[in-house]
Structure 1
Amino acid sequence: MDNLWILIPLAPFLLGGFFIWTRHQTHLAELHIQSAADLAADKAARHATTVAELEERMRVLERIITDGSYDTALQIEALRDRREVEAERIPGPPPMPAPEETRQ
């Protein structure tokens, strides 16, 4: 305990180091909070864009469903008919001849 008087002149240096360390830790915490906020804002912007695209698709689907005109059904049937005509136009492979049985 006789050597405790040596710590008295070192106290300002120890307190100064402690204050610098706490200020640095506070700065690191602020940087962490800022980067988390930036990440959350970026993620929110991406979600908002996705939601806007989905809402636009939903509006198109609602307009198709609630159209009430017979034109949509006719257009769908016309597309089906066109596919059937194209399928008939494209020739398939020639049929395979039936194997002949040989009796011995």
Structure 2
Amino acid sequence: MTEKLVFIQGLFPLIAVIVSVAIAGWVVTTWLRIKNGYPLDGSWGQALYPKNNDETVERVKLLSQENAQLRAELGSIKDRLANVERIVTDSSHVLDREIEQLRGTRN
């Protein structure tokens, strides 16, 4: 019985250090979230104090508009890239013929 007690007494400081480090990590993580404006999460990942003020709503609207503009720009870039790929992969004699046809229509 005394051997088990000695073993447990020797293991207790290690367990105490592990628990202390885990708690300190949780406190630091929570502090960083609060400091940087992130909402706090509950045990199941739900937001405890979500920010639903007018500033947040306006920010979401602006980000949505910017997202739509960027998607439209990306679409036009994809179209241009498709034309460039067609020109690059097109055989040179077909491209030369098309250029000569364009020159002929200008003159």
TM-score (norm 2): 0.46
Return the TM-score normalized by structure 1: 0.47
Structure of greater Rg = 1
